[in-house]
Each structure stands twice: as C-alpha cells, then as structure tokens.
Structure 1
Amino acid sequence: MAPPPIVTGISPKEGPPGTRVTLRGEYLGSGPNDLIGITICGCDCLLSAEWKSSNKIIARSGPGKGRGDIIIITRSGGKGSSTVQFRGYHETIGPMKESAVWVEEAPLQNLAWGSRRSLSPTTYQYEDPLGLSVEGNEKKFPEDDLHELFPEGALAAGGGPGPGKLTSDNFIPAWFLLENHHTTSFEDLKAGLAYLRRRVEAQKEGQLSFLKANVGAVMDQLDTIVALKERFEADMKALGPDPTAKAEQAIKESERQATELFREVLGRREKAEAIRNALGVLQRHRFLFALPSTIERNIRRGEYELVINDYMRARSLFGSTDVPVFQKVFQEVDRRIGALRTALLSRLREPVPAPLDEQKKIIKNLVSFEAEGDPGWEAIQARHQHLLHLLRSCKDEHLSSCSSSESLASPDGDVKSLRGMSPSKFVKTSNSASSQEFLGSSMGVQGVAPPGVLFVEALTEALWDHFPDLWRLGQAYFSGELHVPSNPSRHSEFKDMVMEAVRVFCDLVRGALLPLGGAERLLRRGQGDHSAGGGAWLPHCVRHVRRQAYEPLVRLDLPSEALDAVTSLLFDLRLFCMVTLFRHATDSVRALHRKESWRMEMDERQEGITDLPLRFESRVREVVQVVKECALVGERGEIPLAESTTACKELTAHVQALLCAFPQALEHLTFGKEAMMMQGGGQHSPAVSQLIGSPAAFDPYRGGDAACAGQGKQPPSWETCLLITMSNCAHTRAMVLPRLGDLFKKQSYPGATNSVPGQQWGPLSVSAGALESLERRIFEAYLEAKSDPLVGTIEPSMYLGHLDWGEPFPMPVDVRPYAKEAIGNMIGVHAEVHRVSPSLVPRMLSQIAETVAEELARLLSCVSHFSREGGLQARSDVCAIQEALGPYVTPVASSFFEEALEALPELKSEEDTKRVDVVLANFRARMRVQLICFLGAGLEGGKGI
C-alpha cells in the first residue's frame, strides 16, 4: 500500500469560490483513477480536479469561507494531510466591480446632520474618524497576522466589508487601528480621540442649533409662502374656480371646423401614409415575413442549425411585440417550430435509436428549441431499453431456432461448484499448431458452431454495437456536451442502467452454458457435454469474450463494478474451459489403448516401446499449451487462476487425473477384458515341453486382435504385450514424466514451479507411483505366466519313462533332457524379454532362476533313495542348470541349489568326481550355442522385484 498523500504547497493561497488552485505535494496518486477525493476548506472539489502527476493536481475551490485544510484521498494511500491552508472568501460587489447583476448606487451621506449630497463613487473617500493623516502609513500591517489575532472577525466578515471598515457589521476597533494607524504615535492617537469626541458632542446639539444658525433663510421662506397665498385668492375671485374651461371649449370648436374643411384631403393623405408605412414595414422586416418559408425550406434540407439561428433572431426581435401583424407571423413561426420539435422528439424516441452523432445533434437542437422535459435523458433511456431488448431478443430467437433440438446433459462431478459459468462465441482458431491439432483431433470440433456458441456470438455483437454508444451518450450528458443541465441525482440511475446491461449480458452468457433447466438448456447444445466435443469451442469462446467484450469495456473506462462483473464472468469461463479441456484430454488419454498398434521401436535407452507414450505426451503438451493460452494466464485486469485457491485445487486435481489416465490405459491393455480374453483364448507364447508332447516353438505373433486386425497385422502374444506395456511404463516414468515436469514449470503451472528440487510435482509423483505399481503387477503377471508352465514341466519331464533314482542304470555321460529343456525354456524367456527390454532380462531371469532352483530342491528332496548312478546323474543335472544360469543366480537361488545338492549322496571317490566333470564337459560342448545366450549378462539392477 502506498503512503498517504500530503499537500505541501498551494498557489494561490486565497480566493473566492471557483479559484483555480494548484496543489503540490507527495504521493498524490498513481493516476486519475487512483484519485477518489479532494476537499478544500471542507468542500468537495473532486469533479473539477485535474490529475497531472503524483506531485501536482489542479482543482477549483468551492464555496467555503475562511481558512481550511486541503485533504486528498487516494485508493492506494487513503486519506492524506496538509501542511498549508487555503483561505476562501466571498467578494462584495461594489460600483467599480464588474458583475453580472445590477448594483444599486445609493447616494452617499456625509457626516453632517440633516444634509445629504450625492458623491461620485470615484471621488468619494471616507474621512478618517480620528482626523489624522495616514500618508505616512504606506506599509500595511500583515493581513495574515490580523486573521490570526482576530479569528472571529475573519470568520464573521465572510464576503462583506472587513472588520476594519466603519461600515462593517462586525467592526473591530483594534483591527481598524492596526490596519490604518499601526505607525501612529500614542500622542497623536490621544489627539485623534479628542477630535472624535468633539464631533460627537457637535452632533448632539440637534435641530435647535441648526435653526439658530439659519434664521434669516427661514423667515424669507415664510414671507414667500404668504405672498403666494394672497395672489392665488385674488385670481380665484377674478377668473372663477376653473379659468381654463372657456379656452378649452374654444380650441375644440376650432378643431372641429378645421376637420370638416379638410376631411377628404386628410383622408387621402392618411391612406397614402398607411400604404407607405406598410411598404416600409415590409421592406424593413422582410426577414420576419419570409421566415416561415425559410424555416420550411431549411427543415427539408436538414439544416437545423440555420433554423435555430433564424428562430432565435426572430424571437429576440419580435418575441414581445404588440403589433398584431408581427404577432400573427410569429405565431406561424412558432407553429412550424413546434411541428419540428415534435418530429425531433419522435425521432429521438424511436425503438431503434439513430447513430450517436446524429442523436447528439437532435438533442442539442431540442435544447435550443426549448423542448419540454429532458431530451438527453430520454435518449439515454431509449438506448438502454433498446440494448436490453436486443440482448433478450437474441435469447428468444435462438431458443426458437433450436427448440426442436435435444438439450445436452451438463457436466457433473467435480465441476458442480462451477455452475453458472459460460462460454462465449467462436471467433478464430488458436495461434499455435499444437492447439489446432488438439482442438481438431482430440476434441472433435465440427465445422458448424453449436447453437449456444452462435447465441453468445450474437450477444457479444449486440453488446459491442450498442453499449459504447450508451456509455458515450451518458458521458456527454453529464459533461455538459449536450448543453443540457445535468441532474446530479441521475448519476446513480445511469450507473444502474450500465450495471443492468452488463449484468444481463453476463447472465445470458452464463445461461448459454450452464442453465439450471427449462427451455434455456436448448442453447447448451454442443457446449457443456464433453462427450459431444463441445469443449473444443470454449478456448475460442474465451478469446472472443475477452477481445470483443472485456477489452472494449476496459477502454471505455467503466465503473469498477461493471468491469468486475465481466471479470468474474471471464474467470468462471476460463475455469470452466480449463476443467472441460482437461476432462476431454483425460478421456482421450484414457482411450489411447484403442490406438495401440503394438509396433515396437527402440528408444534412447535401447528399450522397446510403442508410440503410446509419445501419444500421451503429445496430448498432455497440447492441452497444457491451450489451457495456458486461454485460461491459466489472465490479461490486463483479469484475475489469474493461480491466485484462486479453488482454481489451483481444480487444476491440480485435473492434471493429476490426466496424468493418471495413461496408467489406466496401459492397465486396460494388459488386464482389460480384451487382454483377459486374449490370455484365456491361448493367445500367449507357450513355454512348454517337447518331452510331454506340447509345441515348444516360440512364435511372438499368434492369434488375432482388433487393434492390429484393422491394420492387417497380427498382434503379439499376451506375454509379449505384457513386456511391451511394462517397457512403456518404464519409459514413461524415466523419460516422459520428467519432460512433462519441465513443461509444467515452463508454463508456470501453480505448484509445479514451487516444487522441491529433486522431487517431482504432486500429480507427477502420483502418476509415477501409478506407473510403478502397474509395472510391478505386469511383472508379476508375466513372471507367473512364464515361470509356472516352465517349472510345471520339470517334474513330468524328469520322470518321463518311469525314472527311478534308486535303481541302477548306466553311468551318466550327459545331462538328462529335462535339464536341457528347462535351460531351453529359459533361453526362450530370455530371448522374448531381451527382444523387448534388455534391461529387464536380469530382473526377470533371476526370479525364474529362483523358481527353478526351488523346484529342483523340492523334487530332489522328495527322493527317498539314490543309487550311485542316480546320484551322479542328479548332481550333474543340478550343476549344469546352476552353471547355465550362473549370471542370474541370486543368493536365494544359490541357497536352493545348495539345498538340492545336499539332498544328493556325497561324492565318495575321485572317479565319481571325474565322472561328474566329464558329464559337465560334454554338456558344455553340446550346449555351447545355448549357453552363449547367458554369457555377458549380469544382475545389475535386476535382483529382486
């Protein structure tokens, strides 16, 4: 949070209301939108404020009086303080002051009692009441000090005369003396006081002293009045009470006789003068008489400015005339102006408003014509209602167009908390090729947009076409551009209009995706149901709402509440887009088992894998890129999903579901219904015995499978599929998941960038654990499928021909066939495993070696008696098998081999030892090629499971 603002300097320091004040200081806000309040002397001056920089603001002072602080309030710093003060005062309008009102120039009085004389304001000067000269007082006493000494006088003065003026209602003698005589000596002040007392005593003498001083003039006036009375009484006796009546009668008679003599001449003269006067009037005032036709012509041309100018000129000249003919013509002009006013009002109130510039002209013309009401506000209301009608009609039209279609089921499960989110309209494809492939292939985008997308498209176009004009018209109304006196109380009404329009737009867009029910669900066709591929439109919808709705509204500088509504819509839309894209990708990855071709290739570690891990990685990269572009990162003013705990949890859960879907697909390949049918139907390579009549040939491609049948190829055996799938698991853990971890870090996914070094991100570790668990299960299944048949053939092969170890038979020269068969079967397993995953050979054969050794120990421990020849033969067989499997013999297997040898009779002579050596030498010579398979291999990383 920024420091609170502080005002350290002002210019000027005082002035009447409306003074342009420059404020300087520190931390005065980071921009115009950061400034939320300015008070000067307790009056709000925010409307007149001009933010220049963080150190300078210009504002106009309000009607405050007296001294007061300048307080600035900002969003970032809060309420500030001031180290300086501004003094506001109201000016007194005098005779020499320019003013917009008439100022009465009352006659001024001198100090003499009873006499009055009019003085010119330019020559009148107040006489000093002390009778002292002020010529030596050029240096005035500081006015600021006077205000500090007499604060009550400064506040009481207001806009009238100061407390130091004699005419002030709040006259303060000390103020007067400091202001006019602060340099006068004390003796002079005492003399002035005596002079003032003498003048006051002189005023108390009254009218009697005045009469004594002017007795001569008073007696002359009385004599004149008496003479005038005597002369008037004499005239009344001589001429009667009315001496002018006879003269008046004689004059009237003379006038009558003259009129009779010159009646005709005077009549013709009057007529000629009337005609001449009429022609003169027509000539002088032809503008007025031609005005009706001129107005009609200009109206047809649309030149309303000329009509206004002519009308205002005529009204100023003839508006208050008493001439009947002028009145009649002006009434006709008024009638035509009234018709024009009515036509303009009708045009202004049309359901479809005119273009903004034309509407402004209409409003200005109506104001000039003094139309009743408030045309500017009527235009705003008409535009607001038209916009709401357009938004709601879009809904009705799209509902009727898709009323015959079936609604889609809304997603449920982990997106129930996201109800109320919505898509926006399709506008363009993603910029990246991977996004296009992902949207086109995995999402199943069709060429025609769903009805809900088209509906949102129409909504966005309606909002963008009409909302900016509504906002600009409102701004012009309140700024005075329309010449309409705005009503401050309508600010809140206009804000409610703006909020209603934005709220209706957001609600309809939300309703297009996740309505709760009813006919509105028809609009959701192809959007909310991820099974229909509608989620592929969501990235385009997010971009469209952002580009065509949010960014233009930001440029309009709307109230924060309106932008917050759209930001909330975008946040919900991005969150729902993210969830839907991940769910589509999860379903696509989970269904990858259908695309397994079993075409094996060698990876960087020279391990056999199919293209399934690469397909999985490609799907993950595609959805990660699209989610990053469209949903994860918000643009200017948008809320990043990473800052929302709920969004981060949703993101982590869906990433984990996506990464764990691949182990599920691999599990379906090995333990699914088709795999079990493949296993039960004999689609596995039988490691069986030649000695008991079963085929021992190793054929890795037997049977048939639907995935490969479509490509005209036979699938491998079930055991080979297990090995390939296990290699895919190992490759995914070792190669794919680390690359995806780097991808998540590069794309700044929440949690991935903050993971502990050396440890995988949570979803990655869960997926790695699932792969490792699946790999262990596959290993056990393969081991069971191979070791059980292999071990199961040892006993039947050993006792083939009713062998009895206790009976004498020829001395052994070679190992028995059952031992060679066991070694051959293990060679087959070795070849099958080595063909797919060489690194898996030690691990697999060591387990089989332990099983074979355990079986030999069991079989030989069950023999009750060995003949000399049987003991030598059994010892040769066990030593041959142990020697052949030497690289894979673990301590456990070695213990079993020792247990088997302990069950045999000990070699009692050197001849018996040589016989065993001869048998083993013959075995090595005859099985040299087979034994080469086991040479060079070790147990690095292969001991144990």
Structure 2
Amino acid sequence: MAPLPLVTGISPKEGPPGTKIIIRGENLGTRANDLIAVEVCGGECSFEWQSKNKIIARTGINGQKGKGDVIVTTLSGGIGSSTVQFRTYTETIGPLKESAVWVEESPVQSLAWGRRTMATSGYHTVDDPLGLSMEGNDKKFPDDLREMFPENSGDLSRENFSPCWFLLENHHGTSFEDLRAGYAYLKRKVEGQKEGQLSFLKTHVGAVIDQLDTMMNLKKKMDNDGDVDIAKRVHNLQDTISKSIDSSHALFDDVLKRREKADNSRAALSVLNRYKFLFCLPTNIEKNASKNEFDIIVNDYARAKNLYGKSEIPLIQKVLAEADEIILEVRKELHKKIQEMPQGVEQQKRFVKSLINLEIQQIGTKQAEMLKITDPAWDAIASRAKYIEATFKRTYEEFQEKEKENLQKDTTKRDPPIRVLFCEEITEIASGQFPDLWRLGQSYFTGELRGVNEPKPGNFKQIILNAIERFCSYVRAAILPQNQKYSTVTAWSFSSSSQLNLFSTWLPTCLRHLRISYASLIRLDLPNEALDIVLKLIDELRLFCLTTILKKAIDKVKKLHEKESWELSVIEFPGATSLPAKLEELLTEALDEGQQMCLQLEVRENPLFDVPNSEGHREISKIIETILECFSTVLEELATERSDDEIQQLPKQIISGFPTNSLLPHSINLNEAKSTISSTITITWEHRLLCCLANAAYCNKIFINNNLSNLFVKYGYPVPKLALENSRSNVNMVFGNLLEMYVEHKADPLVSTIEPSMYIVSHFKWDGVEKFDNLSPYAHECLDNVVAVYSEIFAISPFLLRPILEQIIQTIAEELARLMVSVDDFNVNGKKQATLDIKMIRDVLRLYSNERAKQSFNEALDAIPKLTADENKNVETLLVSIKQRMKIQLMCLTVVNP
C-alpha cells in the first residue's frame, strides 16, 4: 500500500467556482490512471495529473462556500489529507464575463421607482453611486473584510449590501473631503428622483383627470340609483370581477405555463449539467476510441467508477452498464490493435497500458468474464517478433525475385548487385526493429507493462535468439550460399561464376553493413548469447572475404608468366629475376586489403586467428599454399616453354649487375666483364631455364623463408609455416626437375662427343700411341665444353655452378671410367697419354667434382697400367707445363665458391 496523498500547497488560495488552481504535495499518484478524484471545499472538480507532486484542477459549482480542504484520492494510497485550505466565494456574473455556473436570467431590481425593467437583460454597468472615480483604488478582497462582515456583501445589487464594506473595498484611498462631496452628489441624485415623480404626474395629467372624472360619474350614478337593491348590485359586481379574473387568467395562463415549463427545463438542465460527465460517458468513450485516445477513456472510466460505481440510482446504473458494454468492445479493439503491425513501439506500449488498466477496472463485472486476455503485453511481444521474422522472409524473397528479373536486363558493373542491396536493406531492418522488440520486452519485465500474470523471461530470451538467428540465416544464405551447414533457409545460389566474381568485389560493403547492425545491437545491452550469433556470422564473413581476396591473387599469380621481363634485379641472389618480387607485390596487395577489411577489429570483435590451428587458419594456409604452388607451376612453365622464334637480345641494363664484383677474380676488370657479358649474352631457352632455376633456388633458400614470412608478420597474419614448408618442397622439386632437364640438355651432347673425339683418328688404339708431348684433342674439347657451360651459367647465376657442374662432371667422369676400362691394352706412350688426359681433366674439374666423380676418375686411372717412377715424373712435368699454357682458359674453373 502506497503512502496517503498529502496536499501541502495551492495557488491561488481563493476564488469563485471554476477557478483554475495548482495543487502541490506528496504522493499525489504514481501515474495519471492512479489519480481517482480531487475535492475542493467538499465538491468534485476536474483535474489533470502532472506528476506525483503536482496536479492542475478547476473548482466545481457544488462545493461549499467559504474555506474548505483540498482532498486528493488515489488508487494506490486512498483518500489523502490537506494542510492548506481554499476559500470559495461568489461574484456577480455579467453576460460578458466567462463563468463555469448557470447564470440566472431573471431581471434585476431597478433602484428607480422600485419597478422591474422590461429590458431583455437586467445586467448593466453600475457607476459609482458617489460619483467618484475608482481608477486610483484597486479593488481588494482581504480576508479581514469577510471576517468583519460575514453576512454582508459589498455588491450594490445584493439585498445584504453593506455600505461600510463598499467604502472599504472601493474607496479605502479616498479622502474625507471627497467622500463628503460624494455624499452631497448622492443626496442630490435622490432628490432628483423625487422630482421625477411629480414630473411624471404632470406628463400624464390628462389620464389622471379622466380617471377622476370617471370615478365622480360613478359616484353620481350610484347616488341617483340609491333605491336599487344593494345585493343585486354586489352580485353584478361579483360577476364582473369573476369575468375580469377569467379574462386575466385567459391572458396569463400561457405565460405561466411557459414559465413553469422553463423552470422544469432549467431544473432538468441543472441535473444534466450536474451529471453531464456520466451521461456523456458512453458517447465520449466511442468518440475517443475512434481517435485512438485510449488514455482519456481509461481516465474517464476510472473516474466514473469511483464517483458513481456504488450508486443505487437505476438511471446511473443503466448508464454505467452501457459504458461497461462499450468498454468491453474497446478492450477487444485494443487487443487487436496491440497485435497489428507495423506500428511504433511507444504506441503499442500505450495500447497495452490502456488495455491492462481497463481490464483491472472492469474486474468484478459480468463483462470481465466475457473476455479474458491472459497477458496482452506478451501478445504484443509475440506479434512484433513474428512481424520481424515475416519482414525478413518477405525482404529475402523480394530481392530474390529482383535478381531474377535483373539477370534479364543489361546492367553496368558499377551498379551494386542485388545481394548487396539486400544486405543493406535487411541490416537496416534489423537495426530498426530489434531495438523496438528489446525495449518492449524490457518494459514488460520492469513492470511497466506487466498485468496480473508473471513474466516469461525464458520465452522472451528464446524469441530474441530466434529472431537474431533468422536474421543471420538470411544474410548467410545470400552472402555465403556455399555454406551448407545451415539449412533453416534455402541457399540463394549464384547463377554463374561471373556473377560470383562480380559480387565478391562488394563483400567488404556487406561486411560494413553487418558491422553497423552489430554495433546497434551492442548498444541495446543484449545478452552475450544473442550477440555471439551475429559475431559468428561476422567472423564467417570476414574469413570468407579474406579468402575471396586471396583467391583473386591465385588468378593473378597464374598470369605472372605474362609479366616476366627476365630482369635480373635480385642483388642478393644473382640470376633470379623480378618474378618473385612481382609475386610479393601481389601478396602484399592482397594481404594489405585483407588486413584493412577483415583483420582490423571493431567493437567487441575477436581476432580472426586467435585460436591456433583453427579452421580459418587452415583455410588461409591452404590458399597460401595454392598461391605458391601456382607460382611453382609458372616457373616450370616458363622453363619448359621452348620457341626458337622467340630469341631476343638481352638488354644491357638487365644483365648489368652480373657477374658481381664479389664473384669475379680480382684480376678481371668489372666494367670489362659487364661489357663483355652484355654484348655476348642473348636470351635463349637455356638462359630462361637458368633464370627459372635461379628463381627456384632463390625462393627455396631466401624468398619463402625470409620475404614471405616477414610479409605475413608485417600485416598481422599468422605465419603459415606448414604451407611455406610445403611450398619450399614444391619449389625444390621444380628445381630438381629443371636441373635434371638442364643437365640432360648439356651433359648428353658433351659426354657423347668424348668417345668420337678420342677415336677421331681412324684406327686409333691406345697401344699404338707414337708420341707423348701434349694433351689429347678429346681432353681439350671436353674441357672447352665444360668451360662453355661454366661461362653460360656464370653469366646468369654463379650460385647454379656447383649443382649443375657436379652433375655434368660426374657424367664425364663415369664416361671416362667406362672408356678406360674398355681399353684392351696400352703401350708406354699410351699409358702416359691416358694418365695425362685423365689427371688433367680431374685436376681442372676438381673443385666441382663430388665423391662419385672422384671415384670414377680413380677408376679410370686404375684401369690404366701402372707407370714407373720416371714415366710418372715425365707425366707430371708435362701436366704442369700444359696447365701453365692453359692458365687463362682454365682460370674460371679454379674460382673457389663463386
């Protein structure tokens, strides 16, 4: 039970009926519907609730005169009390003065002649009877005058007129001399009225004389007829008087009847005016219901119930019963309006409040049993939730139809796809509708809209989760149709790959719309379980957007062979072209775009790769691995592409950096080397193959581990170690394939010329060698071929010398071992010649000989018969001499770690 209402102040403190007063106090009602009645001086009055501390009221005509209490009655607190009083008094009401009471239209008494005026209105402006001006004396109504003259009045037209009151009220500032002059003026005025009587007789002297003559003639006639019976004369006079009375009645009966009828009408109007609120209540309810002003209906109905609910008068009970029937229809209409959508949440809340109040007020009536609404607030929540889901579905289907129609039209690529417009539309709907649903639910659970039933928090939470899940399902079906894990909504599939590619460029726009909607939901302070549904969709879209950006890079990488200019621009790895740098540019562009669009965190978003080995991490790693596999394929395609018609001169600026100063012998001038190489090297298939080998080696050793790893770290991506390792394996495999191809291309012709060159002289036999003074022609040719290969490799990439030459030299050593083993016999010169040739080739190629090559050289020497000490000395001496003569030619093969 709430505290009793208490009135502590009013303004003004007195006035006639109909005065507007401001009432202030404590506990004057929690809301407008809680305030039942306001009484001033014991009379009901109209009121308007402002707050629990303020009410505006207008005094009625049925209150007592004088001072009285101001009593406020509320539903929650009951009948209150007052610490202040209001004084009610009456005042003369003229036809031009606004009044809240009925004005009696009977004529007033005229002071002159004591007769009633025949004017239509008896109200006139009365001047000061003393003839003095009252402009300088403001009228006052002090409390002491009323206390001094409790039974009198200062109004000249009143029967209880008091001259003292009049003087104190109107002439409290007038001097004594002026009052004496005013008294003289009043005396003269009265004397003038007496003279007016005499002048009246003078004016009508003829009529007076005629009356006197008639009376004299009557007297004479009666004197002459003295012998006539007196009784007869009296009887005749009585008849005459009776006839006169009947004639007078005939004249005035209509007037009297009309007056009686007017009095009855006035009495009826007085009753109607007194109970006007009650009799007009049914009509006012219907009129306000048509205007949707249900708050007024609640207030009027509660007031009528409070004032007349306990009355036993049949007419009042009949009117209340009619009002109850209308209220029943209003309740039905309100229940329908609550569930009608669309409408604003504030309007829906007003309807719910009005319906709850009407149901509470109608408890105990037979109409209450005819319609029982369990929980109107919950019906409002359910209807709004159904409307939101229906709106999502309708929007989804409308945009699907628009896309089908749009496919048949020619649209520019600049126009946003229909799916993007759908994403914008549905996120705007969510941002606008979810707050209304949430606020409606909060009002329900805080008690603002709660009826007699307990709230259903679990059900409301499920409604919120279902609505958000439905929203995310439609967005997911439009943007991520390839995701089949969510089957609540039919996927909105793409009709072609070109449509998908066009839409993929607008994915960041869709992500921005979804993030804006998510931010609006965060401001509602929804439970984390609901927000996580949207956050999961955002993470999926971020990942999908990132994978789409990276997949675009795959198509660009596949076309890198078109951008290969064979420019040797890698300083740290001579021979490598700008192709890896172009790959790095593509990855930088993709990673930067992905970082800006997808990795930068907004409100309450989680890092996309915060969980190690997550699904997103694995998917990105797989795409990176695919990109690098495509690059390996590009390298292999460039190396295997052979066309003799596509030979062009290598520009000087391309090869200007090789060989570098650190790779050439100190005795060779760098400028001379540059000019020599640039003037002699041409882009052939062998050169392209060597560049691709250098690119593969560069990627395996430096580019993948250093450049790409740093690139991922720079843009905030987790380093895909497994993808990089697999890519290194792929590049290494490509390197092995290309190396085998180049070695086969170079070694087979070189090795195949050894045996023909060895036996170029007809009938040559090792047991028939006649002289021993120089190196054999096949040895010269073999070394010259190796130097040629060396020069070709060195001009492109010195790093490739060892892996290529080791394979070629191993093949040469194996061929020499085979040839020496197949010789049947050697003479002395033959032994020395074969030993000289094998040792010369072995020593010159020693730096690039692997263990297998060295073993083959030893097998070749072992196949030659043993030399004596002198023979061996002879061979060594000639070997030194030949090396001295071939110093310039063989210098390149003696460079350590080129």
**Which bracket does the TM-score occupy, shorter chain normalised?**
0.5 to 0.7
Residue in structure 1 matched with residue 384 of structure 2 by the alignment: 383
Task: Report the CA distance shift for 1:504/1:521 in structure 2 as closer, same or farther (over 3 A).
Answer: closer
Q: TM-score, normalised by structure 2?
A: 0.55
Deviations 1:645-672 (A, max 9, x none): 7x626623651562365245425643x6
How far 1:361 sits from its partner (Å)? 3.5
Residue in structure 1 matched with residue 625 of structure 2 by the alignment: 659
The separation in 1 between residues aligned to 2:781 and 2:510, in whole angstroms, is 67
2:500 is the alignment partner of 1:500? no
2:238 is the alignment partner of 1:274? no
- Give the conservation status (yes or no) of the 8 Å contact 1:341–1:366: yes
Give the letter aligned to residue 443 of structure 2: A
Larger displacement relative to structure 2 (819-828 or 653-662): 653-662
Deviations 1:829-884 (A, max 9, x none): 11222223212223432332333233233324433344566555545544543454
- Give the conservation status (yes or no) of the 8 Å contact 1:888–1:938: no
- Give the conservation status (yes or no) of the 8 Å contact 1:850–1:890: yes
Q: TM-score, normalised by structure 1?
A: 0.53
> Structure 2 matches for 1:298-697, cutoff 5 A?
313=303, 316-317=306-307, 347-351=337-341, 353-367=342-356, 373=373, 375-403=376-404, 447=414, 451-482=418-449, 484-485=450-451, 487-512=453-478, 513-514=481-482, 523-525=492-494, 532=501, 538=507, 540-548=509-517, 550-570=518-538, 572-573=540-541, 589=557, 591=558, 594-595=561-562, 597=564, 599-621=566-588, 648=614, 651-652=617-618, 654-655=620-621, 658-659=624-625, 661-663=627-629, 665-667=631-633, 669-670=635-636, 678=642
How far 1:387 sits from its partner (Å)? 0.9
Give the letter aligned to residue 687 of structure 2: T
The separation in 2 between residues aligned to 1:518 and 1:458, in whole angstroms, is 22
- Give the conservation status (yes or no) of the 8 Å contact 1:598–1:716: no
Residue in structure 1 matched with residue 54 of structure 2 by the alignment: none
The separation in 2 between residues aligned to 1:853 and 1:682, in whole angstroms, is 36
The separation in 1 between residues aligned to 2:505 and 2:263, in whole angstroms, is 94
2:808 is the alignment partner of 1:848? yes
2:898 is the alignment partner of 1:932? no
Task: Report the CA distance shift for 1:916/1:565 in structure 2 as closer, same or farther (over 3 A).
Answer: closer
Task: Report the CA distance shift for 1:502/1:660 in structure 2 as closer, same or farther (over 3 A).
Answer: closer
How far 1:501 sits from its partner (Å)? 1.6
- For the residue of structure 1 that corresponds to 2:526, the secondary structure is coil
Task: Report the CA distance shift for 1:281/1:683 in structure 2 as closer, same or farther (over 3 A).
Answer: closer
Residue in structure 1 matched with residue 655 of structure 2 by the alignment: none
How far 1:393 sits from its partner (Å)? 0.9
Task: Report the CA distance shift for 1:362/1:555 in structure 2 as closer, same or farther (over 3 A).
Answer: same
The separation in 2 between residues aligned to 1:837 and 1:609, in whole angstroms, is 8
Give the letter aligned to residue 355 of structure 1: G
- For the residue of structure 1 that corresponds to 2:492, the secondary structure is helix
Task: Report the CA distance shift for 1:778/1:383 in structure 2 as closer, same or farther (over 3 A).
Answer: same
How far 1:683 sits from its partner (Å)? 9.4
Deviations 1:755-777 (A, max 9, x none): xxxxx944433333343344334
Give the letter aligned to residue 466 of structure 2: E
- Give the conservation status (yes or no) of the 8 Å contact 2:580–2:703: yes
Task: Report the CA distance shift for 1:515/1:823 in structure 2 as closer, same or farther (over 3 A).
Answer: closer
How far 1:390 sits from its partner (Å)? 0.7
The separation in 2 between residues aligned to 1:715 and 1:539, in whole angstroms, is 47
The separation in 1 between residues aligned to 2:324 and 2:2, in whole angstroms, is 41
Give the letter aligned to residue 569 of structure 2: M
The separation in 2 between residues aligned to 1:683 and 1:793, in whole angstroms, is 28
Task: Report the CA distance shift for 1:398/1:286 in structure 2 as closer, same or farther (over 3 A).
Answer: closer
How many residues matched?
604
The separation in 2 between residues aligned to 1:886 and 1:595, in whole angstroms, is 41
Give the letter aligned to residue 814 of structure 2: E
- Give the conservation status (yes or no) of the 8 Å contact 1:452–1:526: no
Larger radius of gyration: 2
- Give the conservation status (yes or no) of the 8 Å contact 1:502–1:562: yes
Residue in structure 2 matched with residue 765 of structure 1 by the alignment: 725
- Give the conservation status (yes or no) of the 8 Å contact 1:660–1:766: no
The separation in 1 between residues aligned to 2:497 and 2:424, in whole angstroms, is 16
- For the residue of structure 1 that corresponds to 2:514, the secondary structure is helix
The separation in 2 between residues aligned to 1:888 and 1:682, in whole angstroms, is 34
The separation in 1 between residues aligned to 2:332 and 2:382, in whole angstroms, is 18
> Structure 2 matches for 1:42-441, cutoff 5 A?
271=261, 273-281=263-271, 313=303, 316-317=306-307, 347-351=337-341, 353-367=342-356, 373=373, 375-403=376-404
Larger displacement relative to structure 2 (845-854 or 902-911): 902-911
- Give the conservation status (yes or no) of the 8 Å contact 1:530–1:580: no
The separation in 1 between residues aligned to 2:852 and 2:746, in whole angstroms, is 19
The separation in 1 between residues aligned to 2:726 and 2:857, in whole angstroms, is 40
Deviations 1:283-329 (A, max 9, x none): 65666788899889988988766676566556655666677988899
How far 1:780 sits from its partner (Å)? 3.1
Decide which of 863, 866, 881 is 2:823's aligned counterpart.
Answer: 863
- Give the conservation status (yes or no) of the 8 Å contact 2:554–2:627: yes
The separation in 1 between residues aligned to 2:896 and 2:377, in whole angstroms, is 93
Task: Report the CA distance shift for 1:611/1:336 in structure 2 as closer, same or farther (over 3 A).
Answer: farther
Task: Report the CA distance shift for 1:921/1:684 in structure 2 as closer, same or farther (over 3 A).
Answer: farther
Deviations 1:488-537 (A, max 9, x none): 25434433432332232233334332475999767221799998476555
Give the letter aligned to residue 278 of structure 1: A
Residue in structure 2 matched with residue 837 of structure 1 by the alignment: 797
Larger displacement relative to structure 2 (727-736 or 470-479): 727-736
Task: Report the CA distance shift for 1:833/1:653 in structure 2 as closer, same or farther (over 3 A).
Answer: farther
The separation in 2 between residues aligned to 1:571 and 1:461, in whole angstroms, is 20
Any gaps of 5 or more consecutive residues in structure 2? 4-75, 80-248, 363-370, 649-680
How far 1:625 sits from its partner (Å)? 5.6
- Give the conservation status (yes or no) of the 8 Å contact 1:656–1:764: no
How far 1:391 sits from its partner (Å)? 1.1
Deviations 1:165-210 (A, max 9, x none): xxxxxxxxxxxxxxxxxxxxxxxxxxxxxxxxxxxxxxxxxxxxxx
Give the letter aligned to residue 488 of structure 1: E
- Give the conservation status (yes or no) of the 8 Å contact 2:2–2:77: no
Decide which of 819, 823, 845 is 2:779's aligned counterpart.
Answer: 819
The separation in 2 between residues aligned to 1:329 and 1:523, in whole angstroms, is 62
Residue in structure 2 matched with residue 804 of structure 1 by the alignment: 764
The separation in 2 between residues aligned to 1:778 and 1:833, in whole angstroms, is 14
The separation in 2 between residues aligned to 1:899 and 1:346, in whole angstroms, is 107
How far 1:357 sits from its partner (Å)? 2.8
Residue in structure 2 matched with residue 69 of structure 1 by the alignment: none
Give the letter aligned to residue 838 of structure 1: P
- Give the conservation status (yes or no) of the 8 Å contact 2:420–2:509: no
- Give the conservation status (yes or no) of the 8 Å contact 2:832–2:871: no
Percent identical across equivalent pairs? Answer: 33
- For the residue of structure 2 that corresponds to 1:608, the secondary structure is coil
Residue in structure 2 matched with residue 123 of structure 1 by the alignment: none
- Give the conservation status (yes or no) of the 8 Å contact 1:292–1:336: yes
The separation in 1 between residues aligned to 2:278 and 2:401, in whole angstroms, is 60
2:692 is the alignment partner of 1:725? yes
Question: For the aligned residues, what is the CA RMSD?
Answer: 5.3
The separation in 2 between residues aligned to 1:447 and 1:905, in whole angstroms, is 86
- For the residue of structure 2 that corresponds to 1:525, the secondary structure is coil
- Give the conservation status (yes or no) of the 8 Å contact 1:478–1:486: no
- Give the conservation status (yes or no) of the 8 Å contact 2:474–2:489: no
Task: Report the CA distance shift for 1:889/1:368 in structure 2 as closer, same or farther (over 3 A).
Answer: closer
The separation in 2 between residues aligned to 1:650 and 1:283, in whole angstroms, is 80
Task: Report the CA distance shift for 1:897/1:771 in structure 2 as closer, same or farther (over 3 A).
Answer: same
The separation in 1 between residues aligned to 2:311 and 2:2, in whole angstroms, is 40
